[in-house]
Amino acid sequence: MKQIYIRGGVPLSGQVRIQGSKNAALPILAATLLADGEHEIKNCPRIADVYYMLDLIRSQGAAVRWKGHTLYVDTRQLTPGPFSEKKEGTMRSSIFLLGAMLGRFGEVDLEYPGGCVIGDRPVNWHIKHLNKMGAMFCDSDERIRAKAVRLTGCEHTLPFPSVGVTENLIMAAVLAEGTTILHGAATEPEIVALCIFLNSAGAQITGAGQREVVIRGVQALHEGRIQLCGDRIVAGTYALACMMTGGGVLLQDAPVSQMTRLIPTLHAMGGHTMISPQGLYLHRGEALSTVPYTVTEVYPGFPTDLQSPLMAALCVAKGESVIEERIFGNRFRIAPQLRKMGADIYTENRYAYIRGVEKLHGACVTAEELRGGAALVLAGLGAGGETYVENCGHIYRGYENICRDLSELGARIYSE
Ligand code: EPU
């Protein structure tokens, strides 16, 4: 399913169920390595990034089985060793294996993580702060190798509330000697999910979701369980799709309380929302209005992962707008692709200047990364004529079945 074909111009209508959260699932899968037992993860999305992570933990002796969207990970027969597969280099979240492996086995050896082409994405803070807990890193260009006799709890002041660093340090700290305190931690809902999972396994973490997190190290953990909530970025992507096409959709299981920054943007663009026990209902009747200035920020600010879908929608909104990308250095890669469809966008450093046009036209465009790829699909839905999005493997890293979901909402979209 490498290409997606869209005939645009159909207003979306109907309801679709939002899959479980990718960015909650990935660190939790790494965290299963911290304890012996059969862990249960309900509502786990069946996406390429989850399958990659499962390959990695399987290579350490974990056994996994699916029952629908419930995933069972059995870690009672772990055989830790270097991660030999090529796969860890392809996915950014393999970095979580650092905290989990050092915390449990005092040793880790993995390839430098890859992931989307959205900036340099260095790992310097991960290394610096794990080093502070007693991990010794070897210098190597290709692999990250580290050892620790036993990690020791300490106080960390993070230079920036990095999601991955916060998650890695929490995983490293749960079995460390003594107490770890994180100042300036990230507060994303995915961090809360990780801590719910770890506490269900016997960890002692307080303050998850706040800037200060305290982790008291324990001797051992046991099996953990969690039900993942809906993916706020997938829900936001489909909400912005509906803004582009007009119509009305019910996003079942959308995690509305985690979407407090997006919803006012939808209103400003001319959307009407209703929150119900089923999820988020969104309707756009009148013309799409622009939002003059959007800045991506850490949670609860506007999420960087929705910046590209928003950009696609602003291309056909009435008026001019500016997006300031503050989280990643290289996240405007779809601008040239959108220009092929008739968009009027100019980018410079961390700013994108967009002048809305009446309509985009279909074109053959290329997905270069996950969220940008999804945004090109949105552009195709809103455009006149036919759009081919090539290289869609990136999109399946994070969207279980974007074609199925959007077809359920009436879109004319097919994959080949
Ligand atoms: N950073 C450093 N050094 C480090 C770590 C991070 O300079 O050692 C910088 C990054 O380069 C970036 C900023 O800190 O400029 C924020 O990065 P962060 O560590 O918060 O991001 P992440 O943990 O790598 C997670 C999500 C991303 C999401 C970001 C921001 C997962 C698996 N990934 O990445 O999700 O964009 O937080 O919210 O949780 C996606 O789902 O499409 C995606 C990219």
pLDDT 10s digits, 245-303: 999 999 999 999 999 999 999 999 999 999 999 999 999 988 899 999 999 999 999 99
- Render each residue's pLDDT in the chain as its tens digit; 416 residues: 689 999 999 999 999 999 999 999 999 999 999 999 999 999 999 999 999 999 999 999 999 999 999 999 999 999 999 987 665 446 777 898 999 999 999 999 998 876 555 556 688 999 999 999 999 998 777 789 999 999 999 999 999 999 999 999 999 999 999 999 999 999 999 999 999 999 999 999 999 999 999 999 999 999 999 999 999 999 999 999 999 999 999 999 999 999 999 999 999 999 999 999 999 999 998 889 999 999 999 999 999 999 999 999 999 999 999 999 999 988 999 999 999 999 999 999 999 999 999 999 999 999 999 999 999 999 999 999 999 999 999 999 999 999 999 999 999 999 98
Mutate to test the pocket of ligand 1, among 23, 97, 117, 228 (most ligand atoms within 8 A of CB): 23
Query: How far from each other are the two terminal CA atoms of the chain, in whole angstroms?
Result: 5
Taking the centre of ligand 1 as the mean of its atom positions, its distance from the CA of residue 373, in whole angstroms, is 18
> What's the rounded Cα separation, in Å, for the pair 292 and 66?
45
Structure tokens at 400: 């279980």
Distance between CA atoms of residues 242 and 266, nearest Å:
10
Rounded alpha-carbon distances, angstroms, from residue 152 to 28, 125, 173, 222, 294: 22, 17, 8, 21, 41
Q: Is 189 in contact with 23 (CB distance < 8 Å)?
A: no
pLDDT reported for residue 270: 96
Q: How far apart are CA 400 and CA 172, in angstroms?
A: 30
Q: Which residue has the tokens 């449990």?
A: 104
Catalytic annotation present for 116: yes
| Shortest-distance atom of ligand 1 to CA 369 | 42
Closest CA to 239 of 270, 216, 215: 270
The residue to which tokens 């013309």 are assigned: 287
Outline where 185-258 has alpha helix (H): 189-200, 232-245
Residue 125 pLDDT = 94
Which whole-number Å values give the CA distances from 321 to 312, 318, 324, 326, 350, in the listed order? 12, 9, 10, 16, 14
pLDDT of 102:
97
3-state secondary structure of 320: strand
Nearest CA to ligand 1 atom 20: 162
The CA–CA distances, whole Å, from 293 to 296, 310, 330 equal 10, 11, 19
**How many A from CA of 306 to the centre of ligand 1?**
14
Pocket test for ligand 1, best of 121, 190, 330, 399 (most atoms within 8 A of CB): 121
Residue 117: its pLDDT value, please? 56
Whole-angstrom distance, CA of residue 198 vs CA of residue 204: 8
Cis peptide preceding 300, ω within 30 of 0: yes
- Nearest residue by C-alpha to atom 10 in ligand 1: 121
